[in-house]
Amino acid sequence: MFYDALKRDHGFRVDPLKALIVPRPIGWISTVDPEGRVNLAPYSFYNAISEFPPMVYFSITGTYGDSPTKHSRMNAELTGEFVVNMVSAKLKEKMNVTTAMFAYGVDEMREAGLTPAPCRYVKAPRVAESPMALECKYWKTIELPIEPGHEAHPGSMVIGHVVGVHIDDAIVKNGRIDVAAFQPVARLGYSEYTTVTDVWAMRRPE
């Protein structure tokens, strides 16, 4: 089949696009507001975008309750910092708690029963239970084009420069990160997720 992505004439009950761009890593973004209150939220539109310099982004669609945008973006822009935490298989249920629409200023890390741990270069805490965390300095926000008919769902990309990396020693094996040891959770379509358990190596041809 073929469908026009702008007309969305696919005939499905739910738009299938996000079920086709899979799996998507989850950026579990922790920030603090100017008053020092912690925020924690997962984003499945997240990834690395550069190695030199090390840069990552998380992307936002729509507003959030009475706020003009998601709290993570607001805090990153106001404080100039954010942290990306990894969601391991053991943390999937706690991650799901933080998807709820909490009011601005509510500490989702506390609501999910997670432990804040200090960072080296940013004020926002990382999730102590997470096997990996990236401390980031906010670089810029890119506003995405607004689609006619969907003005209530503006999109944006928040980009940050990775300045510090925390790694749990338990996931390091023979000088490499053992992905299967912590089984990162990734987003699929609809309300579906997956866990990385099958890993193989494949060399680029010389």
Residue 176 is which amino acid? R
CA atoms within 13 A of residue 42's CA, in its CB half-sphere: 23
Q: What DSSP character marks residue 88?
A: B
Residues in CB range of 153: below 8 A, 6 or more apart: 61, 62, 147
Strand boundaries in 7-54, DSSP class E = 24-25, 27-32, 38-43, 46-50
pLDDT for residue 62: 74
Residue at token pair 């004439």: 9
Give the separation between CA 42 and CA 18, rounded to whole angstroms: 16
CB 120 within 8 A of CB 79: no
pLDDT for residue 67: 72
Per domain, the residue ranges of the chain are: 25-168
Q: What DSSP character marks residue 121?
A: S
How confident is the chain (206 residues) per 10-residue block, as mean pLDDT? Answer: 94 94 97 97 97 97 75 97 98 97 94 98 98 98 91 92 98 95 95 94 93
Residue 50 is which amino acid? S
Its CATH class, for the domain covering 25-168, is mainly beta
